[in-house]
Amino acid sequence: MSVRKDGTVFFPMIWHAHQPVGNFPWVIEEAYQKAYLPLIQTISKYPTIKSSFHISGPLLNWIQETHPEYLEQIVTLYSRKQIEIIGGGFYEPILATIPDRDKELQIQLMIDWWGENYSIKPKGIWLAERVWIPSLPPILVKMGIEFTFIDDYLFRIIGFSEEQTYYAYMTEDQGKAIPIIPINQKIRYLVPWKKPEKIIQYLMKGCDEHHESIIVMMSDMEKMGLWYAGDRITHDICYIDGYDGTPWMNEFFEAILVNSWIKPILISEFLKKHHPKGLLYLPTSSYDKMAIWSLPSPLRKRLEGLHQKIDRKEIDPGLAEEIKTFTTGSIWQNFLIKYSQANIMHKRMLICRNKVETTEKALPNLSSDHFQKIWEKVLTSQSNDAYWHGLFGGVYYRFLRHSIHKHIIQAEFLLDKLRNREGLKEFTTNIQDVLLDGQPDGILENKHVSCYISSLFGGSIFSLNLKERGYNFLNVLTRQNEPYHTNKVQNVQDRFEKWSFQDHFLSTSVPGDFLLKDIYQDLGDFANNLYEITQNTDQSLTLMRKGNIILRKKPVRTVISKTYRLQSTKILIEYDITFSDAIEPKSLFFSPEINIIGVSYPYKTTGVLDTEPFDLVKLINQIKCQRIEIKDQNEHECVSIRINFSKTIDCVLFPLFSILRSEIGFEEIYQGTSIFPKIEIFGKKFKFGVEIILKTIN
């Protein structure tokens, strides 16, 4: 399709490739064969088609190890000025959520990687998930970054018309200014779902007789090869037979070349010859869908419903434009509120990196080389994929969460060894606001184990880690409803965080499936509620709450005191419960709920009740036991957790499954095993003990 136009539209094409930390090698190989490799092979056939490449650090390392010839192709295209390299945070962090020092380290790692390996210096920066905060310019300027890209959604919510987004602009903070270039949303949604002629028709809108307009196309490389498109994938569309027998990518490039008013260009070349159009300030946000996904599920469902009505033209066009302009959704950081496991990972990462800085200050004469591997683990744990959920699995995938936790715990393990070698005291029991929720949390820690306890949520353990293996046994995702859960796709919504030692009081008649479906009545007000926390002289922590249980419709004043004590690789939990009135026999059960993850389920994770194996995916109702053990015998893990009760008791065990929607449809994902001990109580005082033993399996 050739169209004669008077004027020009500059058309940078940016290709972004990323694989999550912890992703499986065979998954990355498929992406390489179906997306990364055919793209660069096609670009190589069109010497006048210019592109920008951003490849995240974890993927760069994988390619360098498995397909170094791919990087040589990039260098060849770079040397003939056909492509430029875009930098970014090496491990693809959300820069807005990490300390400034870490922002600089992440950006510098990417600059160093390209410089040391291929003598290439990235000039621009890619913002992971396009998350922008107004305070970024000073950091970017300091790091020598010359430009960045921001989704045009942010320009529209400050009142810009579509035509105004066809230009580069400047923004600043504290007097440090940097060029910003809008990423065009409409082009992004056309590629590769429509014939190239539709893209040409859109570009005509931006054709400028003054030769200043710039419309940026950004696409994930994976979108051009791995995404589902009906009964085929986009690899077939882009590189095999397109929509009418011609590969879409070839047809796209040919369409650009026959329209001379479209000028493929590198961003750095454009900025050498063309000045940004002016100064502006943008709010904290990302792209439109991300802003919607980060909303609490009920609000997300309502806003998505409004947008669907707009798409179906059920809303007046004028009102529809107002809705899209002023309904801005939320910010990325609210994923940390929406998913408690995301917040745990983020706050554990912050605690870990603060320990590293504390140690650096305590050892000022030690060179940075001694901390290099430790910082590498910390920075790796900032990779964004496991912290959120939108179209893809994200936080729902336990292997992604496990990878983040593993790097955090391994960083602490290496730091412990360094401190011991240099004669510094080991980190030990203390109280601090780990989750930054305004309430104190408890930390039990030695060189083997770290245990984190929330005072705000039932005095429960939210992280229990065997340092040597980098394994968090409590990496269990709380089940919750998503907008795509319907009558046809049902999902359990948990009322209480699926942490361990949430304290419940149950009637004697509660069946196991009521616990599994979370439709039981909790007769107490202890789970998810505030406990007082005290550090004892023997390096233990005591959590206490004065609350009530309801028996025969009357409140009974109840005090729970539980002490957590760390001994080598054991956690001892001692309960002391007092009631204002005597409890009659056979009227009440106490149930300190325990939730455990088996990362390698279903392949090499097994469960044992006393000496008998049990199936982690079946409801086990009212079984008597004194010991429960779960083993993860994956060769990369080889760990077990054993729970010993102070006496033989009844237990209910069941699996926790989440239903999520991903690029392949609906998936049922195992999130962990829930254990409800059912301990009969009577009288005015009650004592009970639990011993948890963490160990490696040889």
Q: For 486-504, how does the pLDDT look when each residue is reduced to its tens digit (9 = 90+)?
A: 888 888 999 999 999 999 9
- Helices (DSSP H) in 294-339: which residue ranges? 297-311, 317-326, 335-338
The pLDDT-based confidence of 253 (bands split at 50, 70, 90) is: very high
The mean pLDDT of 215-239, rounded to a whole number, is 94
Q: For 7-28, how does the pLDDT look when each residue is reduced to its tens digit (9 = 90+)?
A: 899 999 999 999 999 899 999 9
Q: For 606-624, how does the pLDDT look when each residue is reduced to its tens digit (9 = 90+)?
A: 999 999 999 998 999 989 9
SS3 172: strand
Whether the CB-CB separation of 171 and 280 falls below 8 Å is answered with: yes
Q: Token pair for residue 612?
A: 């008998």
Q: What is the pLDDT of residue 147?
A: 98
What is the number of residues in the chain?
Answer: 698
Whether the CB-CB separation of 629 and 607 falls below 8 Å is answered with: yes
Tell me which residue of 223, 130, 216, 134 sits closest to 177, measured CA to CA.
Answer: 134
Q: Token pair for residue 10?
A: 């500059």
- How far, in Å, CA of 277 to CA of 167, rounded? 6
- How far, in Å, CA of 345 to CA of 334, rounded? 14
Domains of the chain in sequence order:
9-286 (3.20.110.20), 502-696 (2.70.98.10)
Q: What is the pLDDT of residue 547?
A: 97
- Helices (DSSP H) in 207-246: which residue ranges? 234-235
Q: Token pair for residue 284?
A: 């904290």
Question: Which residues make Cβ contacts (< 8 Å) with residue 669, sequence separation at least 6?
Answer: 393, 396, 397, 398, 657, 658, 659, 660
- How far, in Å, CA of 517 to CA of 515, rounded? 5
Whether the CB-CB separation of 545 and 576 falls below 8 Å is answered with: no
DSSP classification of residue 480: -
As a whole number, the mean pLDDT across the chain is 94
Tell me which residue of 237, 251, 254 sits closest to 34, measured CA to CA.
Answer: 237
Beta strand 217-220 pairing with 13-17: parallel
Share of the chain above pLDDT 70, in %: 99
Q: For 52-64, how does the pLDDT look when each residue is reduced to its tens digit (9 = 90+)?
A: 999 999 999 999 9
Query: Which of 210 and 403 is assigned the larger pLDDT?
Result: 403
User: Is residue 603 pLDDT above 90, yes or no?
Assistant: no
Q: Angle at the Cα of 396 (from 306 to 485), degrees rounded to 5? A: 40
- How far, in Å, CA of 93 to CA of 350, rounded? 13
- How far, in Å, CA of 33 to CA of 628, rounded? 45
- How far, in Å, CA of 555 to CA of 111, rounded? 64
Check the CA dihedral 640-643-644-650 and report its sign: negative
Check the CA dihedral 488-493-499-500 and report its sign: negative
- How far, in Å, CA of 548 to CA of 554, rounded? 9
- How far, in Å, CA of 669 to CA of 45, rounded? 43
User: Is residue 515 pLDDT above 80, yes or no?
Assistant: yes
Question: Which range among 33-37, 228-232, 345-349, 397-401 shows the weakest confidence by mean pLDDT?
Answer: 228-232
User: Is residue 254 pLDDT above 70, yes or no?
Assistant: yes
Q: What is the pLDDT of residue 88?
A: 98
Q: What is the pLDDT of residue 4?
A: 66
Q: Token pair for residue 287?
A: 């792209």
Residue with tokens 């998505």: 304
Task: Give whole-number Cα distances, 251 to 61, 178, 240, 258, 355, in Å.
Answer: 32, 35, 11, 11, 54
Question: Residue type for 669, please?
Answer: I
- How far, in Å, CA of 330 to CA of 57, rounded? 28
- How far, in Å, CA of 684 to CA of 662, rounded? 51
Q: What is the pLDDT of residue 622?
A: 86
Residue 502: which H helix or E strand, with range?
strand 502-506
Whether the CB-CB separation of 509 and 474 falls below 8 Å is answered with: no
User: Is residue 424 pLDDT above 80, yes or no?
Assistant: yes
The pLDDT-based confidence of 84 (bands split at 50, 70, 90) is: very high
DSSP classification of residue 485: -
Instruction: Tell me the backbone φ, ψ of residue 596, rounded to 5 degrees.
Output: -130, 145
- How far, in Å, CA of 38 to CA of 20, rounded? 21
Q: CA torsion angle for 337, 338, 341, 342 (degrees, to 10)?
A: -70
User: Is residue 1 pLDDT above 70, yes or no?
Assistant: no
